[in-house]
Amino acid sequence: MFVAVAVLAITLDSTSWHHPTLLAAMVVPSAALCATTAGWLLWVAHRNDQPELGLTAGFFMVVSILSLAHGILLPGALFGPNTASSATAFWTVPIGALAMTPTIGRRHRHTRSLRNWRAWVAVTTAASVLVTVAALIWTSALPVPEAGSGWAVISAILMYSFVAVLSMRHLELAMIAGAPGPLAIGAGFVLVGGSNLVLIGGGDYAPHFWLAHLLDIAGVAAATIVGAIVYRRTRSATQVMGPVLAIDPMSALELGLHPVVHRFVADLESKDQITRDHVIRTAALVVEVGERLDLSTKDLVAAGIGGVLHDIGKLEIPNEILTKPGRLTDEEFATIRTHPLLGEMILSGHPHLACAIPAVRWHHERIDGRGYPDSLVAEKIPLVARIVAACDAFDAMTVTRHYRGAMPVARAHEILRDLSGQQWDADVVAAVLSVTGDWGTTIQPSEIRHLSTVGSLAMCDCLPEGLSA
C-alpha cells in the first residue's frame, strides 16, 4: 500500500504546494510532543530497568530531536535557504535505526547487547543532538544525498527495510499479547520509515514531500497517542508500558494471559505454593526454549500457556497426596497420573484456552512410548507437549519438592543428556541445556525469573464449580 501511494505521489511531482510555514507548524509541535513522551518512556525504562523499552523510546527520541531540527530549519519558515533541513531529515531514520540495532533478532541472541542499553541510548541520543547542533550552526555543511539520486534511493530502501523488520517484530508481539499497543508501535515504525519517501523523488513541496512528512507525524502519533490514552484511563505507568511496549515474547505472553489463567494459578497457589511456583518457572523456561527452537507465534503462545497450565489438573488431586512429603504408594501415584486428563477436562470448558490442551494432556508422554496417558511415540507427541515435558522435568529435578530434595543443575543436565531421544525430544533437550547452561549450580525454590505476576489478576469468577481451593 505504501509503495503504491509513494508511486502515485511521485508521479504528481509536477504539482507543488509551497507552504513552509504551514509545514513547520505541523512538524515542530508533533516532534516536541514526541520528544516529551519519549523522555518520559526513557525515565520509566531507567527506573524499571527495561532495556528494550529504553531502546524503543530511544528510537523515538532520536526521531523527535532530528524532526524538530528539520521543522525549525525549513527554508522559508524561520531560516533562509539551507541544506541542513534536508540533512536532518536524511539522518533521522539511520540514527534511529542505530538506536534499535540491539533489539534485532530473538531475545536470546542479543541479551548481552541489552546489558549496556543505557549507554547505547545515550550515545545515539547524543549523536542526534550533535547533528542538530551542527545543522543549526552550519546550515549548509552537513552531507545529504540529492533527492532522487541512486544513493538516496538505495538509502531509502535500506532504511525502510530495517524499520519493516522492527514493525514485524512488534506485530508478532501484538499477536502473542492479544493487545493493540505493540501493533501501534509496529505501525509507528513503518510510518516513520515511510518518511524516506522524500529521498525518492525530486521537488520540494511536491505531493511526495508532503506525504513523507505526514507519514512521519502519523508514526509519531501511533506510538504516543496510545500511551496517552492508556495513561489517562489507568494513571499507571506500568499499565501504559505493558500494552504499549510489550518488548519480548515473555512479557507479551504475560500481558495476553486471560483472567481465567490468573484465576487458575491463584487457585494453585492457594492449594500448594510449591506447585504454583513450579508451573510459573516451567512456563518461563518453556517460552525461552520455544524461542530457541524458533517456534511460530501461534505455537509459542500455545507452549507458554500450556507451561502455565500443565499441572492445572492437580487442583483435583487431594492435598494429602499432592503435598505428601514421602514416597507415594502405587495407588497414590496412580491418582497423581490422572492430572493430565483432569487438566484437559478443566480446560474443555474454556474454548479460548484450547491451544494449551495438547501440552496439558501429553506433557508426561515419552519419546519411547512409555509415557502416559496415551503412550504416544516420538513425533506423535505434539511439539509443545515435548517442550513442556523437558522443561517440567528440569524444574522438578533442580528445585526441592515435597517428595524429593533438589539436585544440582549439572546433575539434571546429565540426566537430560542420558535420556535424550528416549524420554525427551533430543532437539528440545539441546535447547533446554543451551538456555540453562549458565544458571549456576543450584536453583532456589522461590526463584522466578519471569511471569512472576501471573495469578495476581484473579478477578473473574469463572472456574467450574467445585474447583475453588
Beta bridge partners of 75: 79
pLDDT of residue 80: 83
Amino acid at 184: A
Packed helices 180-193 and 51-73: angle between N→C axes, nearest 10 degrees: 40
CB 67 within 8 A of CB 26: no
Beta bridge partners of 420: 424
pLDDT tens per residue, range 320-332: 888 887 788 888 8
pLDDT of residue 253: 66
pLDDT of residue 231: 44
Beta bridge partners of 424: 420
**What stretches of 138-245 show up as alpha helix (H) in DSSP?**
150-177, 180-193, 207-234, 237-244
User: DSSP letters along 252-289, please?
Assistant: HHHHH--HHHHHHHHHHHHH-HHHHHHHHHHHHHHHHH
Question: What number of residues does the chain have?
Answer: 469
Q: How confident is the model at residue 206 (pLDDT cuts 50, 70, 90)?
A: low
CB 467 within 8 A of CB 316: yes
pLDDT of residue 238: 41
Q: State the Cα–Cα distance between residues 151 and 114, nearest whole angstrom.
A: 32
The residue whose grid cell reads 508521479 is 11
Mean per-residue pLDDT, 65-87? 85
Q: Does the structure show a pLDDT above 50 at 109?
A: no
CB 2 within 8 A of CB 216: no
pLDDT tens per residue, range 368-389: 999 999 999 999 999 999 999 9
Q: Does the structure show a pLDDT above 80 at 267?
A: yes
Q: State the Cα–Cα distance between residues 330 and 323, nearest whole angstrom.
A: 16
What are the cell numbers at 414? Answer: 546429565
Residue with the larger pLDDT of the pair 375 and 213: 375
Q: State the Cα–Cα distance between residues 29 and 26, nearest whole angstrom.
A: 6
Q: Torsion-angle region of residue 149: left (phi > 0), alpha (psi -120 to 50) or beta?
A: beta
Q: State the Cα–Cα distance between residues 236 and 263, nearest whole angstrom.
A: 23
Beta bridge partners of 79: 75
User: DSSP letters along 72-103, please?
Assistant: HH-BTTTB-S-SHHHHHHHHHHHHHHHHHGGG
Q: Does the structure show a pLDDT above 50 at 431?
A: yes
Q: Does the structure show a pLDDT above 90 at 426?
A: yes
What are the cell numbers at 317? Answer: 488431586
Q: Which domains does the chain have, with CATH numbers?
A: 2-244 (1.20.1070), 258-436 (1.10.3210.10)
pLDDT of residue 201: 59
| Residue 235 CA: distances (Å) to CA of 151, 173, 229, 239, 259 | 47, 24, 10, 8, 21
SS (H, E, C) 125-160: HHHHHHHHHHHHHCCCCCCCCCCCCHHHHHHHHHHH
pLDDT of residue 252: 61
pLDDT tens per residue, range 384-425: 999 999 999 999 898 877 667 788 889 999 999 999 999 999
Q: Does the structure show a pLDDT above 80 at 181?
A: no
* 3-state helix, strand and coil shares in percent for the chain, rounded to the nearest 5: 70, 0, 30
Rg (CA), the chain: 27
pLDDT of residue 227: 53
The distance from CA 11 to its chain's CA centroid, rounded to whole angstroms, is 39
What are the cell numbers at 70? Answer: 528539520
CA-based angle 41:46:47, to the nearest 5? 100
Amino acid at 216: D
CB 285 within 8 A of CB 293: no
The residue whose grid cell reads 464449580 is 465
